[in-house]
A and B are shown apart, each in its own frame.
Chain A
Amino acid sequence: MLALLGAMALVLVAGAPWVLPAAAGGTNLESPRDVEVYIVDDSFILKWNRGSESLSNVTFSVDYQIPEMDDWTELPGCQYITSTQCDFSSLQLNVYDELKLRIRAEKGNNTSPWYEVDSFIPFHKAQIGPPEVHLEAEDKAIIINISPPGTKDGVMWAMDSSSFIYNLVIWKNSSPAEERTETVYPTDKIYKLSPETTYCLKVKARLRMQRKVGLYSPVYCINTTVENKLPPPENIQIDGNNQNYILKWDYKYENLTFQAQWLHAYLKKIPGKHADKWKQIPDCENVKTTQCVFPQSVFSRGIYFIRVQASNGNSTSLWSEEKKFDTEIQTIILPPVINLKPVNDSLRVYIGAPKESENKSVDEDYPLIYEIIFWENTSNIQNKIVEKKTDFTFRNLKPLTVYCVRARALIHYEKWNKSSGFSDTVCEKTKPGNTSKTLLIIAVICAVLLSIPVVVYVVKVVLRCVKYVFFPSSKPPSAVDECFSEHLLKNLLLSTSAEQIERCFIIENTNAIAAVEETNDVDEDYKKYNSQTSQDSGNYSNEEDNSGSGISEELLLQETL
């Protein structure tokens, strides 16, 4: 029994190593290593390395999964392959959806564990491939036409084809070290070249927002042609004036006719040939002068390119450089007016609006900044500063020196390089510095010194008034004091007049007095009247205005009696 159990255990233990590898799917197969996804435009390539043992007859299979799927699916073109890479570009994927991949090695019935690649979004991982470039040579320019990276029906950049910015590097074949780098549109021209010279160039595409920089195209070389007899017009200017635009250009020769054409600016950002999209500007066909005038209604609001060509009947010149024309800023900016004011050792500058303004007042619509050139009259050194303010000061200047200023206005709106002409030069002499400072200090000190006594006096007066009004003295003057104490209580309320009344008593016979006493109880008024006439008749008849006081004195007398 024990032996049987022991034998069973032995078998189990011995058998285990055989069982487990079978469940795992292979004894020695390692998963692929260094698995990487390479995406360039619409090309999807998965690369890997074999496991540590390079065994023959090992194949690899790849599965993929996208969000709509519940489970892994075999990746077409990547099943049982013997090489260490596979191309799965044919799979119609949504490049903005997350993609999962897994790979394993196989040999016969054995398989390695799956190696899962971190999930990724193809678009984010994709590299911009080289663009395709078509060239056409002129005498002093090369016309370039760039096709965006990827294929025409490609999916990867389908939504970005018009967002590509192209960096171009160009050099003369004879001197490769002297390179010129330019940012170009899909349809553009490289100017300022020499005729009959071999130029080579390469282009790469960039996506600004996604911060992707593409691979350079192969190098293309081309020869510029012999110099054309008729040069193209130069220095195209467009200015607005009332209801018209004036288009001007320069030309070396005379007795030629010119024509001008325009193109919507956005077309240059779109790949493809737009040669047929240029349109004639009305009133600018076969003009004999180096300018033409056309109504503003020709161009609705927008950005355009304008080009001019000369013709002498037999032959035509090549097209001029294409001038960008933004309808919103085509006005003349007039030069500003400057005023200088010397202040001690500084010079205060006032920048004023120009005297006349054109129909569209640029200043109201767009902020202007000013380029100011400033120098000492006797020196050649000019300082240039840019100011937003129209009122500022140059400080710490030499006294009694003449300084000159002139300025021009610039449109402060990013890439609109529109500026006015320079204003007239204005010069002013600075004031004597230190002397005036000293004088000023002395004057201030004197003023302060003088004002101290004045101030003290004024304060004193004010205090006195305040004291008088709000804190009167409780002790009355001495003259009042004498009379006040004796007569105040008696006379204050009752006496209405200060006039002294002589009190006279006329002594009559006793009968009159007795009669007065008898009638005492009967009638008070009568009694008063009698006593008054008996006693104060003299007073009564002489001074009528004292009657009131006389009566009141009597009343008092009677009360005391």
Chain B
Amino acid sequence: MTNRCILQMALLLCFCTVALSRNYNLLRSQLRSSNSACQNLLRQLNGTYCREDRMNFEVPEEIEQPQQLQKEDAVLVIYEMLRQTLGIFRRNFASTGWNETIVERLRAEVHLQMDRLETNVDEITEKENFTWENTPVPHVRKYYARIVQYLKAKKYSRCAWTTVQAEILRNFSFLTGLLDYLQN
């Protein structure tokens, strides 16, 4: 009787572990699939590359090399990147002649990823000793602030948008790296 109980407990533990890890892997695979979709959509947005509008936005190290991050910080960084990307693609891109439908679909995909992460983000931010200032998020925001300031300064010109599009496309590959890092 006891042995059976112990066996059942062990099975339950295994199942839970499997179930939980399956759940997290499920989230990760969903995000990765959406991430690829975003990259494909971005590539469809054509633009003229203007040499004089080149800009080094100084990508933060946390985005380029997530290995030093804690897993929770990685989740927050991913969420912030998605949020800022959504914000950027809501701005005025009339000068580019881009297909509105494609941009809409891009926004929808990014928003979908954010939606999937929201519960995790809530869990992390609601912890008692959580301080936003101690996370890499302010650093990431400053980076995106530089991009937005650049767009404003260049008056949302076509060349500026092409530079920004290339930067965001590169960010999506960093996002893939961050998502891979999340895998336990």
Contact of A302 among B26, B86, B108, B133 (CB under 8 A): B108
Contact of A209 among B37, B76, B90, B107 (CB under 8 A): B76
Contact of B104 among A210, A211, A264, A328 (CB under 8 A): A264
B94 touches A (CB below 8 Å): no
Q: Kindly list the 8 A-B residue pairs having the minimum CB-CB distance in the complex, ordered from nearest.
A: A302-B108, A266-B111, A414-B119, A210-B132, A209-B125, A302-B112, A209-B132, A300-B105
A190 to B87, CA, bound (A): 27
Determine the residue in chain B with the shortest Cβ distance to A207: B132
Contact of B87 among A159, A265, A303, A367 (CB under 8 A): A159
A181 to B115, CA, bound (A): 23
The answer to whether A366 and B111 touch across the interface, beta carbons within 8 angstroms, is no
Q: List 26 A-B contacts (CB under 8 A).
A: A96-B138, A159-B145, A162-B86, A208-B122, A209-B76, A209-B121, A209-B137, A210-B132, A264-B108, A266-B86, A266-B107, A270-B90, A302-B108, A302-B111, A302-B112, A303-B111, A326-B115, A328-B30, A365-B26, A366-B26, A367-B22, A367-B23, A388-B15, A389-B15, A393-B8, A412-B23
Determine the residue in chain A with the shortest Cβ distance to B108: A302
A180 touches B (CB below 8 Å): no
CB distance from B96 to the nearest CB of A (A): 20
A413 to B138, CA, bound (A): 30
Assess A303 versus B26: contact at CB under 8 Å? Given A163-B83, A211-B130, A270-B90: no
Assess A301 versus B109: contact at CB under 8 Å? Given A159-B84, A388-B15: yes
With a CB–CB cut-off of 8 A, which chain A residues contact B141?
96, 159
CB distance from B7 to the nearest CB of A (A): 12
A211 to B37, CA, bound (A): 33
Determine the residue in chain A with the shortest Cβ distance to B114: A266
The answer to whether A96 and B107 touch across the interface, beta carbons within 8 angstroms, is no
Determine which residue in A209, A270, A414 has the highest number of CB atoms from chain B within 10 A of its CB, and name it: A209
A-B contact count (CB 8 A): 74
With a CB–CB cut-off of 8 A, which chain B residues contact A393?
8
With a CB–CB cut-off of 8 A, which chain B residues contact A264?
104, 107-108, 111
Determine the residue in chain B with the shortest Cβ distance to A277: B104
B173 touches A (CB below 8 Å): no
A399-424 interface (Cβ within 8 A of B):
412-415
The answer to whether A367 and B112 touch across the interface, beta carbons within 8 angstroms, is no
Assess A389 versus B86: contact at CB under 8 Å? Given A208-B122, A264-B104, A367-B26: no
A208 to B19, CA, bound (A): 29
A471 to B158, CA, bound (A): 100
With a CB–CB cut-off of 8 A, which chain B residues contact A365?
26
A208 to B137, CA, bound (A): 13
A366 to B23, CA, bound (A): 8
A163 to B84, CA, bound (A): 10
With a CB–CB cut-off of 8 A, which chain A residues contact B87?
159, 162
A124 touches B (CB below 8 Å): yes
With a CB–CB cut-off of 8 A, which chain B residues contact A366?
26
Determine which residue in B30, B144, B148 has the highest number of CB atoms from chain A within 10 A of its CB, and name it: B30
Chain B contact residue count (CB 8 A cutoff) = 39
The answer to whether B108 and A266 touch across the interface, beta carbons within 8 angstroms, is yes
A393 to B12, CA, bound (A): 12
Assess A211 versus B107: contact at CB under 8 Å? Given A162-B87, A367-B23, A388-B19: no
With a CB–CB cut-off of 8 A, which chain B residues contact A162?
83, 86-87, 90
Determine the residue in chain A with the shortest Cβ distance to B130: A211
The answer to whether A367 and B19 touch across the interface, beta carbons within 8 angstroms, is yes
B16 touches A (CB below 8 Å): yes
With a CB–CB cut-off of 8 A, which chain B residues contact A265?
111, 115
With a CB–CB cut-off of 8 A, which chain B residues contact A266?
86, 107-108, 111
With a CB–CB cut-off of 8 A, which chain B residues contact A326?
115
B43 touches A (CB below 8 Å): no
A162 to B23, CA, bound (A): 28
Determine the residue in chain B with the shortest Cβ distance to A412: B23
With a CB–CB cut-off of 8 A, which chain A residues contact B142?
96
B176 touches A (CB below 8 Å): no
Instruction: List 16 additional contacts besides A300-B108, A367-B23; criterion CB under 8 Å.
Output: A96-B145, A159-B141, A159-B148, A162-B90, A208-B125, A209-B132, A210-B132, A211-B132, A264-B111, A265-B111, A301-B37, A301-B108, A303-B111, A388-B19, A389-B15, A414-B119
CB distance from A417 to the nearest CB of B (A): 13
Binary contact track B113-142/A, C-beta < 8 Å → 1, others 0: 001000101100100001011000110011
With a CB–CB cut-off of 8 A, which chain A residues contact B165?
none
CB distance from A262 to the nearest CB of B (A): 11
A300 to B105, CA, bound (A): 8
Determine the residue in chain B with the shortest Cβ distance to A97: B142
CB distance from A210 to the nearest CB of B (A): 5
A211 to B126, CA, bound (A): 9
B39 touches A (CB below 8 Å): no
Binary contact track A281-310/B, C-beta < 8 Å → 1, others 0: 000000000000000000011110000000
With a CB–CB cut-off of 8 A, which chain B residues contact A124?
133
A302 to B84, CA, bound (A): 18
Determine the residue in chain A with the shortest Cβ distance to B105: A300
Determine the residue in chain B with the shortest Cβ distance to A414: B119
CB distance from B157 to the nearest CB of A (A): 20
CB distance from B134 to the nearest CB of A (A): 11
With a CB–CB cut-off of 8 A, which chain A residues contact B138?
96
